[in-house]
Amino acid sequence: MNNYKIFEPIRTAVAIIIALIIAFIVILLVSDDPIGTMTILLVGPLKATRYLGNVIELFIPLAFTGVATAFLFRAKLFNLGAEGILYICGIIATVIAIKLKGYGILQAVVAIGVASVVGMLLGGIPGILKAKWNINELVVSLMFNSIFFGIGFYILNNYLRDTDQSLVASYRFVEPGKLALGNLVAGTRIHYGLILVLIVALLSYVFMFKTKWGYALRMTGANNRFAYYMGIKTFSVIVYTHLIAGFIAGMGGAVEVLGMYDRFRWGALPGLGFDGALVALLGKDHPLKALLAALFLAYLRIGADIMARSTEVPSEMIAIIQAIIILLISAERFLAKWREKQLVKEAK
Amino acid sequence: MGNIWEIIFATDFIFSVVRVTTPILLAALGAIVSDRAGVVNIGLEGIMLMAAITGVVISAQTQSAFIGLFAAVCAGILIALILGYFVLEMKSNIILGGIAVNLFASGGSVFLLYVLTGEKGTSSSLASKVVPNINIPIIKDIPIIGEIISGHNLITYIAILSVVAVYLMLNKTPMGTKIRSVGENYHAAESVGINVKKVRYIALGLSGMFAGFGGAFLSMGYVSWFSRDMSAGRGWIALAAEAMGGGNTIGTTITALIFGFAQAFANSLQGLNIPSELITIIPNVVTVLGLCIFAITKTTKVRKVKANEKNNN
């Protein structure tokens, strides 16, 4: 049984190692100093407190979207809508934050609260469409990403835009040099959103594994027909899973905007929502393991950024690593023979 | 409102509907073939993107549009087969596999572009070639019809021929029967000696080929350069078109045309006094509405049939 338990972590580790080896081969092709480049990618973030701070700063939104997507994937709902919800809820948080500028803690609390609720309602739309009419949630969620971006960008350009700024940006919602979510660790930009995301992940874990709703959710994901015949109301499971995921993604958008910026600055979808899918997958759709996955991905991303700044290899290189990790981890047959051997050995 | 009608009934608008529909239609054909074999290819979006960059790069290297087109299509097939390997041999989840393809293409195409040109936005510094437009003799001289039908890009005509080919292949050939039977019930297909894996490889390869043509059209026909994420959701719209068309070639072609119409309409509204951010979402809104209308009418039909059955018993 012990070997069986450690199988999954080993498999994940092997997948990551293979991906890194392939990444190294690619670097070998494009870089003059492949070993130096690879070293920067792998240990670059450890070199300065500021870089480590960057890792945690990036971890926060990735953890939000990762936990949100873990709910959906756990129920076998392939919805990638966290991206659009993150964006539009960032806009909503900005609107409120501008209105409540100078109200201190109240500003952040109200902005995050309202954005989360809006995220929940918007996230529920594909859920109801799926539950009621079995409309493909993947396609709908992707269409909604573009729709939410279009509407959000329209609001930004027409109602929030500070025309004194050369780049796309909203009006300021905090005084210069301050951030709405404060500073948690001196010397970095880590903000109180970190504590919030840890609480959200913990509550998600409790919900998913210690309540009957979480049980229904997991059963629906494991086998929705079986769950249905067992008497689980799969209709409501699909809807509340979407509502929760939307709530968390919306909160993530608000926290990211208020925690990291003094103005809303996203002129395009930031991609953090799509990364949530990868985080959820790496974390095996488990809220706490998703935290580890988010930390890993954030580390890799910051490593890639440092690499792109100091070498000629672009940070998009990371896309290759990600694709290989997804393919290998989702592959049931990957290392299956090895596992079968282990099982046989134990039986003897 | 007057000028909106003027826009829609102009011949160049209908011409642009055909043009805009081309990549959606090609990707939708890919969606049909793969879905009918029971392995719906979610990676169409990414395959188009990789084909688009391949076409630009190879045509710039060889200075031949046709070698570029050929390479783009090969790239499409290759990626689809790699996806096939993971799904069929390694038992990856097809949806996650498709997501991996899309993530890879979005970053990988920019990576390739940067390594080759040092730019991350567009390939304008590469002297890539464009697949030529074709004027059809005789037809081009017919008023109105000639203006709409003639003068399109070669790939547009390939798309139209592909519709016929896919229809005939699925409905009139042994291969089509195999694909459909594998998609309907692969256990049954297996039991009569059909090589399920092989059929699915072929179906995925074909879907990659069609998406490859679609991607090549984007960078070598629609415009003459590659730009970051230029497939812009067309692969997803194609999947929606296929779902609404019920996996049927003619139905899917019609829905692809509807989405192409929405896109062309959005394009021509750019000149009017409507915020451009809202115009860009029109095709997406139409797609969601289309999916809803289709699914709602379908479920009501099913419910009616069930209710009738109950009454008869």
Displacement of CA A226 from its chain's centroid (Å): 30
Q: How many CB atoms lie within 10 A of CB B165?
A: 16
Asked whether the predicted pLDDT for residue B238 surpasses 60, the reply is: yes
- Please give, rounded to a whole number of angstroms, the shortest distance from the CA of A293 to a CA of chain B: 16
Instruction: Please judge whether A316 and B236 are an interchain contact, meaning their C-beta atoms are less than 8 angstroms apart.
Output: no
If pLDDT is split at 50, 70 and 90, which confidence band does B244 have?
confident
Contact flag B285-A277 (C-beta cutoff 8 Å):
no
Indicate yes or no: CB of B295 within 8 angstroms of CB of A134: yes
Q: How confident is the model at residue A1 (pLDDT cuts 50, 70, 90)?
A: very low
Query: Is A136 in Cβ contact with B107 (below 8 Å)?
Result: no
The shortest CB-CB distance from A333 to any of B89, B280, B296 is to: B89
CA distances, B279 to each of B23, B153, B228, B234, B264 (Å): 20, 26, 21, 16, 11
**For residues A231 and A217, what is the distance between their CA atoms, to the nearest angstrom?**
13
The pLDDT score that the predictor gives to residue A2 is 54
Q: Which band of pLDDT confidence, cut at 50, 70 and 90, is reported for residue B34?
A: very high
B270-279 contacts, C-beta under 8 A, 24 or more apart: B272/B3, B272/B4, B275/A154, B275/A157, B275/A158, B277/A150, B277/A151, B277/A153, B277/A154, B277/A157, B278/A150, B278/A151, B278/A154
Helix (H/G/I), strand (E/B), else coil: A271: coil
Using a CB–CB cutoff of 8 Å, tell me whether B281 touches chain A: yes
> Quick check: B274 contacting A, CB < 8 Å?
no
- What mean pLDDT comes out for the span B242-260? 89
Q: Does B292 touch chain A (CB under 8 A)?
A: yes
Q: Give the pLDDT band of residue A310 (cuts 50, 70, 90).
A: confident
pLDDT computed for residue B166 by the predictor: 95
- Pairwise CA distance, residues B166 & A135, whole Å: 26
Average pLDDT, stretch A256-261?
90
DSSP assignment of A149-209? HHHHHHHIIIIIB-TTSSSS-B--SS-TT--TT--SSTTS---THHHHHHHHHHHHHHHHH
CA B195 to each of CA B186, B188, B190: distance values in angstroms, whole numbers, following the listed order: 10, 11, 6
Apex A230 CA angle, A228 and A236, nearest 5: 45
Distance from CA of A153 to the nearest CA of B (A): 7
Question: B277 and A147: CB-CB below 8 Å?
Answer: no
**Residue B168 to residue B176: CA distance in whole angstroms:** 8
The Cα A158–Cα B49 span in angstroms is 32
Of B95, B115, B233, the CB nearest to A146: B233
B92 lies within 8 A of chain A by CB: yes
Parse chain A into domains and list their residue ranges. 59-297
pLDDT at A331: 82
A277, A323, A332 member nearest B104 (Cβ): A323
Nearest residue on chain B to A140, alpha-carbon basis: B288
* Residue B201 confidence class, pLDDT cut points 50, 70, 90: very high
**What is the structure's pLDDT at A85?**
95
Task: Kindly indicate the confidence band of residue B157, based on its pLDDT and cuts at 50, 70 and 90.
Answer: very high
Provide the b/e sequence for A51-62 (b: ≥16 CB within 10 Å): bbbbbbbbbbbb
Nearest-Cα residue of chain A relative to residue B115? A30
Q: Which residues contact A283 (CB under 8 A, 6 or more apart)?
A: A66, A70, A289, A290, A291, A292, A293, A294
Strand partners, A327: none
CB A85 within 8 A of CB A115: no
| ipTM of predicted complex | 0.83
Tens digits of per-residue pLDDT, A151-165? Answer: 999 999 888 888 888
Answer whether A150 sits within 8 Å of B95, measured CB to CB.
no
Contacts of A294 (CB under 8 A, 6+ apart): A59, A62, A63, A66, A279, A283
Q: For residue A262, give the 3-state DSSP assignment.
A: coil
Tokens of B247: 């996996």
Tell me what pLDDT residue B233 has. 84
Where is average pLDDT lowest: A235-244, A321-330, A332-341?
A332-341
> B111–A314: do the CB atoms touch at under 8 Å?
yes
- What residues contact residue B217 under an 8 Å CB cut-off, 6+ apart? B22, B23, B26, B131, B153, B155, B156, B159
CA distance B157 to B152: 7
CB contact under 8 A, B236 and A30: no
B229 at A interface, C-beta within 8 A: no
Could B99 and A317 be called an inter-chain contact, meaning their C-beta atoms sit closer than 8 Å?
no
Residue that wins the pLDDT comparison between B276 and A280: A280
- Residues A56-115 pLDDT 10s: 999 999 999 999 999 999 999 989 899 999 999 999 999 998 888 878 788 889 999 999
Mean of the per-residue pLDDT values for chain B?
88
Looking at residue B62, its amino acid is T
Give pLDDT tens digits for A108-143: 899 999 999 999 999 999 999 999 888 888 889 988
Cβ-count burial of A236 within 10 angstroms (0-12 exposed, 13-18 middle, 19+ buried)? Answer: middle
Residue A233 has pLDDT above 70, yes or no: yes
In sequence order, the 6+-apart residues with CB closer than 8 A to the CB of A254 are A89, A90, A92, A93, A111, A112, A115, A116
Q: How many CB pairs under 8 A join A and B?
A: 136
Among A145-149, A177-181, B74-78, whose mean pLDDT is lowest? A177-181
Mean pLDDT, residues A223-237 taken together: 89
Interchain CB distance below 8 Å, A147 and B240 = no
SS3 (DSSP) at A108: helix
Confidence of residue A347 (pLDDT cuts 50, 70, 90): confident
Q: CA of B299: which chain A residue's CA is closest?
A: A133
Give the per-residue pLDDT at B50: 95
Contacts of B99 in chain A (CB under 8 A): 78, 80, 277, 326
Residue A93: which of A170, A163, A176, A184 has the closest Cα?
Answer: A170
Mean pLDDT over A240-253 rounds to: 95
Q: What percent of chain A has pLDDT over 90?
A: 43
d(CA A136, CA A313): 38
Q: Which of A27, A143, A297 to mutate: most B Cβ within 10 Å?
A: A143
For chain A, which residues lie within 8 Å of any Cβ of chain B, measuring from their own Cβ?
Answer: 30, 78, 80, 129, 132-136, 138-140, 142-144, 146-147, 149-151, 153-154, 157-158, 274, 277-278, 281, 314, 316-320, 322-324, 326-328, 330-334
Contact check, Cβ <8 Å, B110/A151: no
User: What is the full DSSP assignment across A31-91?
Assistant: -SSHHHHHHHHHHGGGG-HHHHHHHHHHHHHHHHHHHHHHHHHHTT----THHHHHHHHHH
pLDDT at B3 over 70: no
A320/B108 touch (CB, cutoff 8 Å), yes or no: yes
Cβ–Cβ under 8 Å, residues B281 and A147: yes
Interface residue B296 vs chain A (CB under 8 A): yes
**Are B213 and B158 in contact, with CB atoms under 8 Å apart?**
yes
Which residues make Cβ contacts (< 8 Å) with residue B113, sequence separation at least 6?
B53, B119, B120, B123, B226, B228
Largest CA distance in chain A: 75
Least confident among A9-13, B146-150, B277-281: B146-150
Pick the residue of A91, A327, A340 with the most B CBs within 10 A to test the interface with B by mutation: A327
Burial of B48 (0-12, 13-18, 19+ CB in 10 A): buried
State the pLDDT at residue A208. Answer: 94
Cβ of A316 and B96 within 8 Å?
no
In this prediction, residues A307-315 reach a mean pLDDT of: 86
pLDDT score for B142: 81
User: From the centroid of its chain, how far is CA A301?
Assistant: 13
CB spacing of A143 vs B108 below 8 angstroms: no
- Contacting residues of A for B278, CB less than 8 Å apart: 150-151, 154
Q: Are B239 and A139 in contact (CB under 8 A)?
A: yes
Q: Is residue B1 pLDDT above 60, yes or no? A: no
Mean pLDDT of B26-40: 93
Residues in chain A with CB shorter than 8 Å from the CB of B299 are 132-134
- Tell me the per-residue pLDDT of B12-26, one tens digit each, with 9 for 90 and over: 888 889 999 999 999
pLDDT for B101-110, tens place per residue? Answer: 998 998 899 9
Tokens representing A158 are 């027409």
Task: Select the highest-mean-pLDDT range: A215-219, A269-273, B273-277.
Answer: A215-219
